[in-house]
Chains A and B, each alone.
Chain A
Amino acid sequence: MNFSELTTQLEQLFPGKLNCYTQFGCNFIRIKDEAVYKELHRTLKEKFSFKYMVDVVATHWPKKTDKFEVTNNLFSIENKLRVFVKLSRPDHVFPTITDIWKGANFMEREEYDLMGIVFEGHPDLRRVLLPDFFEGHPLRKDFPLKERKWFNKTDEQNLGIKFTK
C-alpha cells in the first residue's frame, strides 16, 4: 500500500476530517477535527499496520492562533511507509497516544518537559530530562535563552555550591 491508496481509504473512513498531502517528499496527515485524533491513530495502527511509533514532536508557533502543534511520526514496516500525523491547537492540552503505543510514554514526557504540552490521559506525566525543581518549559519560543536564575534555587545535595554567572 502506498500513500495515495492510504489517503483514499482514510477519506472514506473519516470524510472531511483529514487533509492528506505530500510535501518535501514526506507524507502528512493533518487532522482538521480533533475529535477523530484517537480514532485515527487506532485505525492507523490496527487496520493499516502502523505498528512502529517513531517519535512525538511538538512545535510552538507563538504568532499563530493555533499556538501548539504535535506531530506523530508513524512507520509501517510492512508497507515501508512513513506518515506524519499533525494536530494544531490554540492551547497546550492534547490527547495522549500512550494507550495505543506504549512507547509514546517517554516521548510525551519529553514534550511535556521541554515544551509544556499536557497530554490528557498520560499515566505518569513527569519531567524526564530537566531536574524536578526546574520552572517553565525551555523550548517554548518565549522562554529566555539565558535564564539561569534557577541554578541557585536549591542545593539539592547540600554541597554549598553557589553559581554567580
Chain B
Amino acid sequence: MGVITNKLPDNVITTTVDNVINWGRKSSIWPVTFGLACCAIEMMATGAAKHDLDRLGIIFRATPRQADLMIVAGTVTRKMAPIVRKVWDQMPEPKWCIAMGSCATSGGIYDTYSTVQGVDEILPVDFYVPGCPPRPEALLDAIVALQKKIMTEKVTRK
C-alpha cells in the first residue's frame, strides 16, 4: 500500500478478484435443509433466535438448486444414501458439505446392517462436527471454519 498511498481519489479501494468474490461467498452461505435425525433439531436451534445464523448471512433454502452448503444432520441409512447423493448432485458449484454429528461423520453408535458408516462414503465432506448431537456452538464453529476455508480458495484459477 505504501506506493499508492494518496495516489487514488476518494471512494476507491484496491483488492483482488479472489478476495472480493470469496468475501461475497462466505457472507452468504445458503445451506440446503437436510435434517435426517435428532441433529436436525440442533441445526434448527442454531438457526433460531438465540444463535441466529441469519447474522452470518446464512439462510436455509428448501431447494438444492439455490444452495451452496449441505449440512448433513443425522443418521444416513442405506435406503436414504442415494437420495442424499442426488440432492448433492443437484447443487450448483461451488458447494461445500458439513457432516454434523457422530452418525453423519462415522455411523456413530449405529454400527449396524442398515446405516452408512459416515456420509463421506457417498459425497466429499469439508468439515466434520463431532457430538451426539453437537451443540449449536459446535456447528457455528464449523461454519466459521468453513468461512475461513472459503477465503483461501482461488476463484480465477483452479
Contacts and interface: CB of A to CB of B under 8 A. Distances in A.
A130 interface: yes
Contacts of B146: none
Interface of B: 78-79, 81-82, 85-86, 89, 107, 111-114, 116-118, 121-122
Nearest to A145: B112
A156 interface: yes
Interface in A137-165: 138, 143-148, 150-151, 155-157, 159, 161, 163-165
A165 B121 contact: yes
A151 B78 contact: yes
Interface string A114-142: 00000000000000001100000010000
A159 B113 contact: no
Nearest to B78: A151
B115 to A, nearest CB: 8
Contact of B82 (A130, A138, A143, A157): A157
A161 B112 contact: no
Contacts of A148: 78, 113, 117
A156 B80 CA distance: 12
Nearest to A152: B78
Interface of A: 130-131, 138, 143-148, 150-151, 155-157, 159, 161, 163-165
B118 A165 contact: yes
Max count, chain B CB within 10 A of own CB: residue among A143, A155, A156, A165: A165
B86 A163 contact: no
B79 A130 contact: yes
B121 A146 contact: no
A151 B118 CA distance: 13
Contact of B86 (A138, A144, A146, A157): A157
A105 B111 CA distance: 31
Contacts of A164: 121
B112 A146 contact: yes
Nearest to B107: A165
Given A143-B113, A146-B111, A159 B89 contact: yes
B86 A130 contact: no
Contacts of B117: 148, 165
B82 A146 contact: no
Contact of A138 (B81, B85, B113, B118): B113
B79 A161 contact: no
B79 A131 contact: yes
B140 to A, nearest CB: 29
B116 A163 contact: yes
